[in-house]
A and B are shown apart, each in its own frame.
With several copies, the nearest count.
Chain A
Amino acid sequence: MLDKNGIAKRIAKEVKDGYYVNLGIGIPTLVANFVRDDISVEFQSENGVLGMGPFPFAGEEDADIINAGKQTITTLPGASFFDSATSFGMIRGKHVDLTILGAMEVAENGDIANWKIPGKMVKGMGGAMDLVASAENIIVAMMHTNRAGASKLLKQCSLPLTGVGCVKKVVTNLAVLEVTGEGFELVERAPGVSVAQIEEVTEGTLVINGEIPEMEL
């Protein structure tokens, strides 16, 4: 079973040379730490920066340079700043190659919900609705179950949607799954996790074709 860093490490393998990548708040932010350093990648943050670098050293924080999670950041050579309309022009115009974000629920048809629990909690969609409606390559990073132990991979989302039919791949603490026309196709198991364990906590249709390899990290 993976922890949050493990999920991030596995997703980092999906980041290819030449990709512009948008990382959501939470687990996705950790992905940057695990991308191979022999490939060229630029991270975009929708509040208006391309070419994000690591967090600053203590004492070097600049209140005017943050990421979409409101964390202080640095920039790398080749970086640029721009306004919010231009930033979402990049996203909507499909110039960003890969979007990685968290979710509360994912449905087997690719629907995603991650911004609201009616009557209880409303964080707002932030940039997520623009991202999922625009990106062609969307990976969800999340735990396989919620705090109550219920599956987050469902036949249908029960919460208000963020986007429809958009998720292509899900990486959880237990597995890597691809969203196909038939449901969640199990592609890889987390180290030490059995297919039966994954079946038990996957409410949506789970498609299992042949032997499922354990993921390599």
Chain B
Amino acid sequence: MIRKKVDNVQEALEGIQSGMTLMLGGFGLCGIPENAISELVRLGVEDLTCISNNAGVDDFGLGLLLQKHQVKKMISSYVGENDEFERQMLSGELDVELTPQGTLAEKCRAAQAGFPAFFTPAGYGTEVAEGKEIREFNGKMYVLEEAFAADFSFVKAWKGDEAGNLIFKGTARNFNPCMCGAAKITVAEVEELVPAGQLDPNEIHIPGIFVQRIFQGTNYEKRIEQRTVRERL
């Protein structure tokens, strides 16, 4: 077993520098690497390029990094629900590359799995396809998209073991598995870290080979963005 456990978030983020490109898992505030984001804020690294489906909300998640102007560029699919993000983008303070959500996921997976490029129908005929190669296959038009290249990938899992194996919970899975092994260094934070051998090899979502560092996270807030309930009849 190759041991991936590190003692805390400080150790997990060793080597992080201003100007780097980071991947961050999560959809909205669901499944985001809360501990890593806090530490990025504390470290004050700047000029970051962040690949993340959303950018949190004004006062939580990646919104915390935006507030402190640590982010130079966001690569995301959706901006809604974050006024500061929209303001910085419209004012030109922040460079934003909007990417269709499925393309965003696959550009991560391509980096993970060693594919330099793939053809997808998403965005054909729109400004997303401008400057990109277009090709017809079986009568349908496709856009050539390239794999991402990133320095660090920060993901959040439910359970993990010391070998770096990960299991996610519910829809907190989302982009997290696609980002594992998609950057030079993948850092996983988990709600419960167990010794190797305690997770069923058949139930592992992401094998430890895709993870370089794993640590037990603390103080998860897991804020709900749109609490929606139904009436009891």
Contact = CB atoms under 8 A, between A and B. Distances in A.
A–B in direct contact per CB < 8 Å = yes
Nearest to A111: B125
Which of B101, B170, B178, B201 has most A Cβ within 10 Å?
Answer: B101
B135 interface: no
A130 B101 contact: yes
Interface in B82-136: 86, 89-90, 96, 98, 100-106, 108-109, 111-115, 120-128
B189 interface: no
A68 B128 CA distance: 22
Contacts of B217: none
Contacts of B124: 133, 163-164
Interface string A14-43: 000011100000000000000000001110
B100 A127 contact: yes
Interface of A: 18-20, 40-42, 44-51, 54-58, 60-73, 75-96, 111, 115-116, 119-130, 133-134, 160-165
B29 interface: yes
A91 B115 CA distance: 11
Contact of B112 (A54, A77, A93, A120): A93
Given A48-B173, A63-B172, 11 more contacts: A60-B229, A72-B224, A83-B174, A83-B175, A85-B106, A88-B102, A89-B112, A92-B121, A126-B101, A133-B100, A163-B125
B114 A93 contact: yes
| For the complex of A and B, 3 pairs with smallest distance between CB atoms | A77-B197, A88-B102, A92-B114
B126 A80 contact: no
A71 B1 contact: no
Contacts of B101: 46, 84, 88, 125-127, 129-130
B208 interface: yes
Contacts of B204: 80-82
A72 B227 contact: yes
A44 B96 CA distance: 28
16 contacts: A19-B2, A20-B209, A66-B171, A72-B227, A78-B165, A80-B207, A81-B168, A83-B173, A83-B176, A85-B108, A88-B106, A92-B113, A93-B113, A126-B80, A129-B122, A134-B114
Interface in B169-209: 169-178, 181, 195-197, 201-202, 204-205, 207-209
Contact of B208 (A19, A78, A123): A78
Contacts of A88: 101-102, 105-106, 113
B30 A64 contact: yes
A111 to B, nearest CB: 8
B225 A161 contact: no
* Prevailing SS type, chain B contact patch: loop
Which of B1, B100, B104, B109 has most A Cβ within 10 Å?
Answer: B100
Contact of B230 (A19, A57, A68): A57
Given A95-B210, A127-B77, A84 B229 contact: no
Interface string B151-175: 0000000100111010011111111
Contact of B31 (A64, A73, A86, A122): A64
B126 A70 contact: no
A56 B229 contact: yes
B114 to A, nearest CB: 3
A123 B201 contact: no
Contact of A50 (B27, B168, B181, B207): B207
Contact of A123 (B80, B109, B230): B80
A160 B171 CA distance: 30
Contact of B80 (A63, A76, A124): A124
Given A57-B232, A83-B178, A133 B121 contact: yes
Contacts of B181: 89-90, 93, 95
A122 B228 CA distance: 25
B47 interface: no
Contacts of B205: 83
B84 to A, nearest CB: 14
A20 B2 contact: yes
